[in-house]
Amino acid sequence: MPSASETTSSSTSTSATETVKTASAGSSRNRKRGGPPARGTERGRRKPEFTSRRGLLIAAFMAPAAIFVAVFTYYPMIAGSQMAFRNWNLTDLSDTSWVGLKNFRDVFADPAWGTVLTNTAVWVFGSIVPQLVIGFALALWLRRKFRFRGLYQALVFFPWAISGFLIGILFRWLFNSEFGVVNDLLQKAGLIDEPVAWLADPKTAMFAVVVANVWYGVTFFTIMILAALQSVPEELYEAAALDGAGKVRTLFQITIPYIRVTLALTVLLRVIWIFNFPDLIFGMTGGGPNNETHIVTTWMIKITQQGDYGRASALGLIVVATLLVFAVFFLLATREKRDDKREVKP
Amino acid sequence: MIGKESTAGRATKFTVLGLWLVFTVFPLYWITITSLKAPGDIFTFPIAYWPERFSLENYSGLFGKADFGVYLTNSLIVATVAGAVATAISMLSAYVLARFEFRTKSALLMAALVTQMIPTFIALGPLYLLMTDLKLVDNRLGLILVYIAVCIPFCTVMLRGFFENIPDALEEAAMIDGLSRFGALFRVLLPVMRPGIVAAFIFNFVNCWNELFLSVTLMNSDTNKTVPTALNGFISSFNIDWGSMSAAAVLTILPTMLLFAFASRHIVQGLTSGAVKG
């Protein structure tokens, strides 16, 4: 088993595919490994004949998944990646020669690039922070049974079953400047005097897409944190109560430290996911007004629609590279998690 | 917090929970109400929160003007088949990843994670060319194959979590009783896993049902369109027919919401045990 650092240091997309291939082809070469024995398998059975059968079984069971992902996900991605270094424009396919880093230079030289980056940061962090805070509060409150808790959970989890694109459309209708219910409610409450054109003004449009994303994403945090809270031993709370710790202190000294790995992991997973999630903005503003609500991935869609596949692929590689950095954190966090589990298991 | 709740604490808690519930449910209420207004009543002042007359005109228009029934059928077929096959394939890979130690394991898990970072659009062009070569463009089978690949990584991680929640002792006992490894897997383990398998299938189904960009790229004829593609077609650059759009949205949301309500508890379990163990 390679260590995490080995895996990440070479984790370009190519090595990932190679591993997919070797896994489906050559994992029958498994011999005795160092490290801990496998969990509950082949205990006390170390015949070589069994080892090769075991390798065959692993290979056979992994093969369908590996083949599907290699053919329909990794192959197109790698083929698409090499477009990033070519002059690949649908408007003129006569010359698809190698142009090195030109597409990347074009991306960075684009006057809109600064806005796109700023928007991406607002989109990711502006969504993550409220999602985490609200999700955490809901999880804490949903721990204790109350009447209709099951129904409440089912209702509050609904947004999750809807596609991001459709949520964008839903909120486009809510924030409609003339017949939008948001303006109507705010006027009734006396908070605004006249209708606001939410999606026509860059500042309010960015705010509106983030609101929609918060509406969508709180559920995920609630679920993850709720499950993590189940694992905190009751005795800890009893001990804290005996020591006379108040609610706030218990929260910060017991609950949060105990589930911090899950918290970190959930945040990282969501950062990856939200970063790579153009659907909602695509449905809500299409990147408008005047390209002012584009994030990196919607910008990529726009460039693709203009036919400049080379530049779009360069953008795609920038996304993958950025997110791989997050994956390193992810792996480190999961390793810590495993150690934690060992410590707390009786 | 576990412990005594003060009255003030309870009041705060239920107020915030109530507000969040309203915030969550209201957009869904609003799109439903919009869809049930007569097309002329959608754009009137003052905005009606409860229409004076209900009308199914938007819905009948959907099945008259557009072939919405065909789109729903296509989505249903594609999501059901792709979801089921992806669940079966992921079950095998998840089993191996949960029960064996082998050298390429962490690399495989890493490869699964990387798939989540790849923007769909980097792969679209080559994927379209590949499907053209395979003669699978504008063909439901083609979309199903692509969706299976899309579902596998996450589904594998989720199911692996379920497998890890089941003690090894269960299989060991079955194998000591003379069952083969396969016998133990299919006769003992899978029956215990049934809720998890159902949840994984529903999760895949919902993901396929909701997917937009791949289906827009690969399905271009009217008879093969899926629902999200049709919804995308309702948006012209300046104008949205909000009557049709709201009715279509309700019809799109309803099936997945019912499925989700049915399986949310299992999904919660699967996600937490699967995703956290990475």
Query: Is a pLDDT exceeding 70 seen at residue A51?
Result: no
Confidence band, pLDDT 50/70/90 cuts, at residue B183: confident
**Chain B contact for A54, CB < 8 A?**
yes
**Chain A contact for B127, CB < 8 A?**
yes
pLDDT at B75: 95
Confidence band, pLDDT 50/70/90 cuts, at residue A52: confident
Structure-block tokens of residue A112: 């809109």
In angstroms, rounded to a whole number, what is the distance separating the alpha carbons of residues B215 and A21? 27
- Report chain B's mean pLDDT, rounded to a whole number: 86
| Among the listed residues A13, A162, A261, the one whose alpha carbon sits nearest the alpha carbon of residue B24 | A162
End-to-end CA distance of chain B: 28
Confidence band, pLDDT 50/70/90 cuts, at residue B42: confident
In degrees and rounded to multiples of 5, residue A92 shows phi and psi of -150, 95
**Chain A contact for B211, CB < 8 A?**
yes
Confidence band, pLDDT 50/70/90 cuts, at residue A121: very high
Query: Is a pLDDT exceeding 80 seen at residue A23?
Result: no
Least confident residue range of A286-295, B43-52, B189-198, B243-252: B43-52
Mean pLDDT of A69-94: 90
Confidence band, pLDDT 50/70/90 cuts, at residue B273: low
In angstroms, rounded to a whole number, what is the distance separating the alpha carbons of residues B180 and A42? 13
Nearest CA to CA, how far is B212 from chain A (Å)? 7
Amino acid at B39: P
Confidence band, pLDDT 50/70/90 cuts, at residue B145: very high
Helix (H, G, I), strand (E, B) or coil at B240: strand
A224–B275 CB contact, under 8 Å: yes
**Chain B contact for A64, CB < 8 A?**
yes
Query: Is a pLDDT exceeding 60 seen at residue B211?
Result: yes
Segment A304-321, tens digit of pLDDT: 989 899 999 999 999 999
Interface test with B, best of A5, A169, A185, A253 (most B CBs within 10 A): A169
pLDDT at B270: 58
B-contacting residues in A 242-281 (Cβ below 8 Å): 247, 250-251, 255, 261-262, 265, 269, 272-273, 276, 278-279
Q: Which residues of A touch B101 (CB under 8 A)?
A: 1, 33, 35-39
Q: Which residues of A touch B104 (CB under 8 A)?
A: 2, 19, 22-23, 27
Higher pLDDT, B205 or A268: B205
In angstroms, rounded to a whole number, what is the distance separating the alpha carbons of residues B39 and B205? 32
Helix (H, G, I), strand (E, B) or coil at A98: strand
Q: Are B79 and B209 in contact (CB under 8 A)?
A: yes
Question: In this complex, how many residue pairs, one in chain A and one in chain B, have their CB atoms less than 8 Å apart?
Answer: 327
Higher pLDDT, B239 or A109: A109
Confidence band, pLDDT 50/70/90 cuts, at residue B236: low
Give the closest of B13, B20, B231 to A169, CB-based. B231
In angstroms, rounded to a whole number, what is the distance separating the alpha carbons of residues A83 and B128? 14
Least confident residue range of A25-34, A80-89, A259-268, B235-244: A25-34
**Chain A contact for B156, CB < 8 A?**
yes
Mean pLDDT of A33-38: 42
Query: Is a pLDDT exceeding 80 seen at residue B252?
Result: yes
**Chain A contact for B269, CB < 8 A?**
yes
**Chain B contact for A87, CB < 8 A?**
no
Scanning the structure block, which residue is given the tokens 């430290």? A257
pLDDT at B267: 66
Nearest CA to CA, how far is B5 from chain A (Å)? 10
Structure-block tokens of residue A328: 């390193």
Q: Which residues of B touch A330 (CB under 8 A)?
A: 113, 278
What are the C-alpha distances in Å from A223 to residues A275, A321, B141? 20, 29, 34
Confidence band, pLDDT 50/70/90 cuts, at residue B39: confident
Which positions ≥6 away from A83 have C-beta within 8 Å? A309, A310, A312, A313, B125, B126
Segment B43-102, tens digit of pLDDT: 777 788 888 778 888 898 888 766 889 999 999 999 999 999 999 999 999 999 999 988
Q: Which residues of B touch A159 (CB under 8 A)?
A: 24
Give the closest of B30, B264, B278 to A153, CB-based. B264
pLDDT at A299: 95
Nearest CA to CA, how far is B64 from chain A (Å)? 22
| Among the listed residues A198, A213, A128, A99, the one whose alpha carbon sits nearest the alpha carbon of residue A162 | A213
Nearest CA to CA, how far is A169 from chain B (Å)? 9
Query: Is a pLDDT exceeding 70 seen at residue A11?
Result: no
The rounded Cα A38 to chain-centroid distance in angstroms is: 31
Segment A194-218, tens digit of pLDDT: 889 999 998 899 999 999 999 999 9
pLDDT at A42: 45
Segment A327-340, tens digit of pLDDT: 787 667 666 555 55
- Report chain A's mean pLDDT, rounded to a whole number: 81
A20–B17 CB contact, under 8 Å: no
Segment B111-127, tens digit of pLDDT: 988 898 889 889 988 99
Confidence band, pLDDT 50/70/90 cuts, at residue B249: very high
Whether residue A37 has a cis bond before it, omega within 30° of 0: no
Query: Is a pLDDT exceeding 80 seen at residue A62?
Result: yes
Higher pLDDT, A44 or B189: B189
Higher pLDDT, A1 or B170: B170
pLDDT at B56: 86
Q: Which residue of A has its CA nearest to B116?
A: A273
Helix (H, G, I), strand (E, B) or coil at A86: strand
Mean pLDDT of A77-86: 92
Task: Express as a percent the part of chain A with pLDDT over 90.
Answer: 42
Query: Is a pLDDT exceeding 60 seen at residue A98?
Result: yes
Give the closest of B100, B119, B125 to A83, CB-based. B125
Segment A151-162, tens digit of pLDDT: 888 888 889 889
Element (H, E) at B143: helix B140-165
Highest mean pLDDT among A35-49, B69-83, B171-185: B69-83
Q: Which residues of A touch B96 (CB under 8 A)?
A: 57-58, 61-62
Mean pLDDT of A48-62: 79
DSSP B62-128: HHHTS-HHHHHHHHHHHHHHHHHHHHHHHHHHHHHHHH---TTHHHHHHHHHHHTTS-HHHHHHHHH
Mean pLDDT of B146-171: 88
Q: What is the 3-state secondary structure (H, E, C) of B120-138?
A: HHHHHHHHHHHHHHCCCCC
B130–A76 CB contact, under 8 Å: yes
The model carries a pTM of 0.84
Query: Is a pLDDT exceeding 50 seen at residue A69?
Result: yes
Query: Is a pLDDT exceeding 90 seen at residue A245?
Result: no
pLDDT at A336: 57
Task: Express as a percent the part of chain B with pLDDT over 90.
Answer: 40
**Chain B contact for A152, CB < 8 A?**
yes
Q: Which residues of A touch B112 (CB under 8 A)?
A: 69
Q: Which residues of B touch A81 (CB under 8 A)?
A: 122
Helix (H, G, I), strand (E, B) or coil at A99: coil
